[in-house]
Amino acid sequence: MPKIISAAMPEIEFKARPVKGVSFYIGENVVDSITDHADIGYTENKEVLGLLIGRVLKDDEGIYVKAEDAVTSGLDADETSVRFNKDAIESLFESIDKCKGDSVVGWYHSHLGIGCFLSDVDIRTHTGVFGDEAGFAVVIDPSDSTLAAFSCGSDGPQKIRMIIMI
Ligand SMILES: [Zn+2]
């Protein structure tokens, strides 16, 4: 089973973050893969969904994460909702096992033409998986190729800065 990230994890590597004040770093390959996935869904008029796998690090500012891979699996989706197909969970975990990183650091999903934000359902999904620990939600709108990242603490969702790593 993959680890859900948690500030309580004892063995987090201490390493200064690349950019002060930024807690979320994402590989360019990950952005390419999730935007491609969202574009495919868009042609089928369906939202898409997946998990972001990577590493949790810490420095003097606290916890930050690097998303190094995106994984997905079979989905039940239409134009306004998406979830993992029950039969697809096993293959999802197999895909996670093949990733370099060992932590689920976030998730992504698409919105079709309504812009990038976290809906009430999204917030419930997010807090159901990550609680109020650091975990990041990336929302993509393939209708105008926009993408935004959010954290979701006790004071609700907040759009955050994200650095794309080449
Ligand atoms: Zn949503």
Phi-psi sector, 142: left (phi>0), alpha (psi -120 to 50), beta:
alpha
> The CATH number of the domain where 33 resides is what?
3.40.140.10
The total domain count for the chain is 1
Let me know if residue 6 belongs to a domain: no
Ligand 1: centre distance to CA 10 (Å): 32
Q: What is the pTM of this model?
A: 0.91
Ligand 1: centre distance to CA 56 (Å): 24
Let me know if residue 12 belongs to a domain: no
Residue type, 39: D
Q: Encode pLDDT of 123-156 as tens digits.
A: 998 988 887 667 899 999 999 999 999 998 778 8
Ligand 1: centre distance to CA 121 (Å): 7
Ligand 1: centre distance to CA 99 (Å): 25
SS3 42: helix
Let me know if residue 1 belongs to a domain: no
Let me know if residue 5 belongs to a domain: no
Let me know if residue 86 belongs to a domain: yes
Let me know if residue 4 belongs to a domain: no
Let me know if residue 42 belongs to a domain: yes
Report residues near ion ligand 1: CB below 5 Å.
Answer: 119, 122
Answer yes or no: are the C-beta atoms of 132 and 100 closer than 8 Å.
Answer: no
Ligand 1: centre distance to CA 119 (Å): 5
Domain that holds residue 131: 21-165
Per-residue pLDDT of the chain (166 residues), as tens digits, is 566 666 555 688 999 999 999 999 999 999 999 999 999 999 999 999 999 999 999 999 999 999 999 999 999 999 999 999 988 889 999 999 999 888 999 999 999 999 999 999 999 989 888 876 678 999 999 999 999 999 987 788 999 999 999 9
Q: What is the pLDDT of residue 9?
A: 59
Ligand 1: centre distance to CA 125 (Å): 9
Q: What is the pLDDT of residue 131?
A: 78
Q: What is the pLDDT of residue 153?
A: 79
Ligand 1: centre distance to CA 59 (Å): 31
Let me know if residue 60 belongs to a domain: yes
